[in-house]
Amino acid sequence: MILRRIPRRAINNRRELLLRNPLARLLFERAAGSCVDHPDEAALLLQAQERHVCALAVDALARSGREAWALIGQNPDVLLHALERPLPRAVIRRALQMLEHAAVDAAHAARILQWARDKLAQRHPRFAQSALLNLVAGLLARFQALRSPAEQPVIYRRAAA
């Protein structure tokens, strides 16, 4: 609850804060352990204003495994909203992988695909194009009905002689 109340841009350098402030170090370490054990608490931290707290939650959810994927699968918009913040690239990569695994049905996959296609079209500098393409390709391989006509594979056959 304390970490959720940290205002936006209150932490300038997380590494420096954790080195100099033992209370902050304790809070972040306990929150990380709690998020791994209880993915629902990590989902609450995803809604925090401070980006370092949000990054902590994404990191913990990525390490949690199938429970966290099911939780994100129920409501992928929480993670998509968290990705709109300036998070470290490594955290974003893990979150994109988690989104691919969390798509449990075609409706959630369609929402994630639309978001990823928008980011690809914007050529958003925070997101690696290759990571977004991997997300789109993974979802389209699993949910073939979501392919657009331009994304349908073309199969060439040898003409009968």
**pLDDT value for 161:** 64
**pLDDT value for 7:** 66
Give the residue ranges of the chain where pLDDT is below 70: 1-5, 7, 35-36, 39, 65, 68, 161
Domain ranges for the chain, please list them: 3-145
Q: 29-66, pLDDT tens digit by residue? A: 777 777 667 767 777 777 777 777 778 788 777 777 67
Rg (CA), the chain: 19
Q: How far apart are CA 32 and CA 26, in angstroms?
A: 10
**pLDDT value for 134:** 92
**pLDDT value for 15:** 80
At 121, list the tokens. 């079209």
**pLDDT value for 116:** 92
At 26, list the tokens. 């304790």
- In three-state secondary structure terms, 150 is helix
**pLDDT value for 148:** 86
In the chain, which residue ranges form alpha helices assigned H by DSSP?
14-20, 22-37, 39-45, 51-64, 66-74, 76-82, 89-102, 106-122, 129-142
**pLDDT value for 138:** 92
The answer to whether residues 47 and 3 touch, using CB atoms and an 8 Å cutoff, is no
**pLDDT value for 2:** 65
Q: How far apart are the first and last CA of the chain?
A: 73
